[in-house]
A and B are shown apart, each in its own frame.
Chain A
Amino acid sequence: MMQFTCPHCGPRDQAEFIYERTVDAVVSLDAAPEDAMKSLFTRNNPRGVDEEIWRHTYGCRAWMVIARNRVTNEISATRAVGPEALP
């Protein structure tokens, strides 16, 4: 079982979060078709660290980016995304 630290709510049980996709899998609105294809349908899927988008669905409902090692489950960074992360 993992514990994530929500940038807004602090440390919370993983059960409150839902995994969405990796950062590089977000399709930008002006992406060329081949780039959109890659983002939609392929993943680096590393046996190591990747940057993942999770949502605190059963909490504050905010999105965040979590850098997580997929073998050890170690979390090396968490940052907020969206308007609330703007300066």
Chain B
Amino acid sequence: MSQYSAFGLLRGALNGQKHWQPAWRDPEPKSHYDIIIIGGGGHGLATAYYLAKVHGLKNIAVLEKGWIGGGNTGRNTTIVRSNYRLKPLHDLFEFGLKMWEHLSDELNYNVMFSPRGAMFLGHSDADMTKLAERGDAMRCDGIDADLMTRDEVQKLEPLLDMSRDARFPIEGGLIQRRGGTARHDAVAWGYARGADSLGVDIIQKCEVTGFVRDGDAVVGVETTRGRINAGRVGICVAGHSGHVAGLAGLKLPVESQTLQAMVTEGVKPMINSVIMSQSLHCYISQSDKGGIVFGGDPDNWPSYAQRGNPMVMERAVAQGLALVPALSRLRMVRTWSGVTDMSFDGAPIIGETPVKNLFLNGGWCYGGFKATPASGWTYAHTLATGKPHALNAPFALDRFERGATIDETGSGPMPNSR
């Protein structure tokens, strides 16, 4: 693999940029792999990369039914943060955030991580108490968090409606300054290029349609490109977790829902940070191309339709306009949606399944992009050793029957009420 560098670009400028090579191969599937990962999103590709890089495994394949990064990785609003409330989530997401800080160097690929600050707005005294509690919890675990006054919020985001008769009055905020955004496609492509150069076969247009069993163990997969044998198989298919695990006879604690996002035409810089309101369910940021990216609640009923309901979109837009009235001048250029696997406590699932040799990484709900490096790192550990990494041990599939759920919002086993 040739290294990307500024010097290479300059040299390319002199010979018409003719030196560019494909960033990964397009291999035919082999008949056997030691480890097969189902799903070529950021998480699957990161897992393959760390399996090869950290665990020295050579015979690995990532099977993707469409094209890599075409799932939620390429559809998300790219907010990266670790400002959670509970310890297991702190540990996992903060580990990930530290990896983001060096990811472009690690991959020799610019993932455009931009720590511009991730800010929650508080709209009432009760909100501010909740934000203070969250900030304290973060600081106790060594994560940066600053409570903000109204004035500080206004200084950071002058276009917010700070008037006293605003539809959603703003009393203050909580900011994690190390949080921000990254370029979604680059994350998938960077990990793919890195994994491929370490010998991982990335096989696109290859859908897993069944599992090959030997007694109670999985020994391979059936795919649209034939049967492929495997030592271990790792599911990593986001919204399709329930469907794929179902092929192995498992019934998961997830329900698939649609999550939408949208973007406006590009304009000059007007939003400086990532503005989020958890009381409203609305988040707004500005992409490096200038488009205002925003999103809201999931469509709160099960769906694999991969197209959103205008009713939910309208609610997100209404909230966005109330917070930043200047947005009403912009044209919306695209809306889209992805299928998310909403888990029953809102936390991810990473670990073994009751089926021998079959592992699961899923249940990321609407918030797994930020975890991509940490998810890949811990899942690689689990797939290589057959055991949980300390960071993913709390996220085992059997936590629900043990009563050890990780219920960040305290809303009980209702994926549609998160």
A27 to B236, CA, bound (A): 30
Are B302 and A50 within 8 A (Cβ)? Answer: yes
A36 CB to nearest B CB, Å: 10
- At the interface, yes or no: B336 with Cβ under 8 Å from chain A? no
Q: Tell which of A15, A21, A70 has the most Cβ of chain B within 10 Å.
A: A70
Are B302 and A47 within 8 A (Cβ)? Answer: no
Are B252 and A43 within 8 A (Cβ)? Answer: yes
- At the interface, yes or no: B4 with Cβ under 8 Å from chain A? no
- At the interface, yes or no: A73 with Cβ under 8 Å from chain B? yes
- At the interface, yes or no: B255 with Cβ under 8 Å from chain A? yes
Residues in B with CB closer than 8 Å to A43 are: 242, 251-255, 302
Main secondary structure of the interface of A (DSSP, over half): mixed
A18 to B253, CA, bound (A): 21
Known: A14-B311, A19-B416, A37-B401. A44 touches B305 (CB 8 A): no
Residues in A with CB closer than 8 Å to B311 are: 1, 14-15
- At the interface, yes or no: A38 with Cβ under 8 Å from chain B? yes
Are A71 and B400 within 8 A (Cβ)? Answer: no
- At the interface, yes or no: B357 with Cβ under 8 Å from chain A? no
Could you mark each residue 288-332 of chain B with 1 if its beta carbon is under 8 Å from any beta carbon of chain A, else 0?
Answer: 000000000000111111000111000000000000000000000
- At the interface, yes or no: A45 with Cβ under 8 Å from chain B? yes
- At the interface, yes or no: A9 with Cβ under 8 Å from chain B? no
Contact of A52 among B246, B300, B302, B414 (CB under 8 A): B302
Residue of B nearest to A19 (CB): B301
Residues in B with CB closer than 8 Å to A52 are: 301-302
A22 to B255, CA, bound (A): 10
Residue of A nearest to B314 (CB): A15
B392 CB to nearest A CB, Å: 19
Tally chain A residues at the interface, Cβ within 8 Å: 27
Residue of A nearest to B403 (CB): A37
Are B252 and A46 within 8 A (Cβ)? Answer: no
Are B253 and A41 within 8 A (Cβ)? Answer: yes
Known: A15-B311, A46-B243, A52-B302. A41 touches B344 (CB 8 A): yes
Could you mark each residue 68-85 of chain A with 1 if its beta carbon is under 8 Å from any beta carbon of chain B, else 0?
Answer: 001111000000000000
Residue of A nearest to B399 (CB): A41
B394 CB to nearest A CB, Å: 16
- At the interface, yes or no: B240 with Cβ under 8 Å from chain A? yes
Known: A42-B251, A44-B251, A71-B305. A21 touches B243 (CB 8 A): no
Are A47 and B252 within 8 A (Cβ)? Answer: no
Are B309 and A1 within 8 A (Cβ)? Answer: yes
Are B253 and A1 within 8 A (Cβ)? Answer: no
Could you mark each residue 1-44 of chain A with 1 if its beta carbon is under 8 Å from any beta carbon of chain B, else 0?
Answer: 11000000000001100111110000000000010011011111
- At the interface, yes or no: B256 with Cβ under 8 Å from chain A? yes
Q: Tell which of A18, A22, A42, A71 has the most Cβ of chain B within 10 Å.
A: A42
A54 to B416, CA, bound (A): 12
Residues in B with CB closer than 8 Å to A73 are: 303, 305
Are A70 and B303 within 8 A (Cβ)? Answer: yes
A42 to B240, CA, bound (A): 15
Residues in B with CB closer than 8 Å to A44 are: 242, 246, 251
A45 to B245, CA, bound (A): 10
